[in-house]
Amino acid sequence: MGERLKDKIALVTGAASGIGKGTALRFAEEGAAVACADLNSAGAEAVAAEITGSGGRAIGIGADVTNQADVERMISATRDAFGDLNVVVNNAGITIVGSVENLSEAEWDKELDINVKSIYRVSKTVWPILRERGGGVILNTASIAGQIGIGHDAAYCASKAAVIMLTRCMAADGAADRIRVNSVCPGFIATPMIDGFFNDQDDPEASRAAATKLHPLGRLGTPRDIAGGFVYLASDDAEWVTGTALTIDGGLMAAIPSG
Ligand SMILES: NC(=O)c1ccc[n+]([C@@H]2O[C@H](COP(=O)([O-])OP(=O)(O)OC[C@H]3O[C@@H](n4cnc5c(N)ncnc54)[C@H](O)[C@@H]3O)[C@@H](O)[C@H]2O)c1
């Protein structure tokens, strides 16, 4: 067990799978108490059980980040269980493949609600709590898709660009209250979400191979690669870091592949 987060009490959304699960596990390894929240309550409970089974502190919470009552309940449950809350990771997200022409209005609204408005909703709810306790950290999962467009992924890219900008605005507003706000921009990460993205393409295997080739470091990322960034941003090593978008992408955004 590390100690980089030993004084941290963290709430991670979308913690049943992929990047959220990897982050919850990594936070616990670094000594944080972790509330694992997810729409998939059985999955959230399973990740919490994995943490407590290895001697860590965790609870699992079934919660939908698009529902205000659920958001209030997950925040209260974290504070009831651990006596405090000082790190929130807004990570829950979905992707619905489609161009503007193909996406229905309902799909657009659902994707923007889960990927962006939920960050407004969770942050607004936790803000007075963080202010009153003397500060805290809010971390948001954005994406390289918020920095560069991807074909047939219009709502997703728009949502992630919004996450990067919302992060900057909240960082400006939070500084006086010692609330640091940062985002992480993953490249393509091997999770159930990206499997779904590839499977929705005309030729899934060709799409996976093409995506892998975009990363100069020669492979897709893992949830652990991203969790390492979240550990840094949640830790006191990052006490002078706010408003940033930390790109963790195997070099994808650095250059166009030559071959
Ligand atoms: N996988 C990638 O390549 C990649 C790249 C960049 C960014 N991201 C972002 O990382 C985050 C996690 O994605 P992942 O790849 O781990 O996906 P995933 O599908 O493996 O996990 C997402 C989790 O979010 C949960 N979730 C969905 N809607 C929810 C809701 N309304 N309330 C609560 N929980 C909800 C799901 O149940 C699931 O457990 C997302 O924000 C995603 O956009 C992923």
SS (H, E, C) 165-225: HHHHHHHHHHHHHCEEEEEEEECCECCHHHHHHHHCCCCHHHHHHHHHHCCCCCCCECHHH
Helix H segments across the chain? 18-29, 41-53, 68-82, 105-112, 118-132, 154-174, 192-199, 204-213, 223-234
Ligand 1 atom with minimal separation from the 194 CA: 1
For range 128-134, the mean pLDDT: 98
Amino acid 33: pLDDT: 98
C-alpha span between 240 and 227 (Å, rounded) = 20
Distance 2 CA to ligand 1 centre (A): 26
Tell me the pTM: 0.98
Of 225, 216, 244, 249, which is closest to residue 145 (Cα–Cα)?
A: 249
Nearest CA to ligand 1 atom 8: 143
For range 38-66, the mean pLDDT: 98
Distance 259 CA to ligand 1 centre (A): 31
User: Which of 73, 189, 193 has most ligand 1 atoms within 8 Å of its beta carbon, as the pocket-test mutant?
Assistant: 193
Amino acid 28: pLDDT: 98
Confidence tier at 259 by pLDDT (50, 70, 90)? low
Confidence tier at 1 by pLDDT (50, 70, 90)? confident
Per-residue pLDDT of 189-204, as tens digits, reads 999 999 998 998 889 9
Q: Which residues are catalytic?
A: 156
Amino acid 159: pLDDT: 98
Domains belonging to the chain, first-starting first, are 9-189+222-247 (3.40.50.720)
Residue 20 in tokens: 């959220």
Residue 97 in tokens: 């493949």
Confidence tier at 256 by pLDDT (50, 70, 90)? confident
Distance 176 CA to ligand 1 centre (A): 31
**Amino acid found at 196:** G
Amino acid 208: pLDDT: 95
What are the pocket residues of ligand 1 if the criterion is a CB atom closer than 6 Å to any ligand atom? 13-14, 16-20, 38-40, 43, 64-66, 91-94, 114, 141, 143, 186, 188-189, 191-194
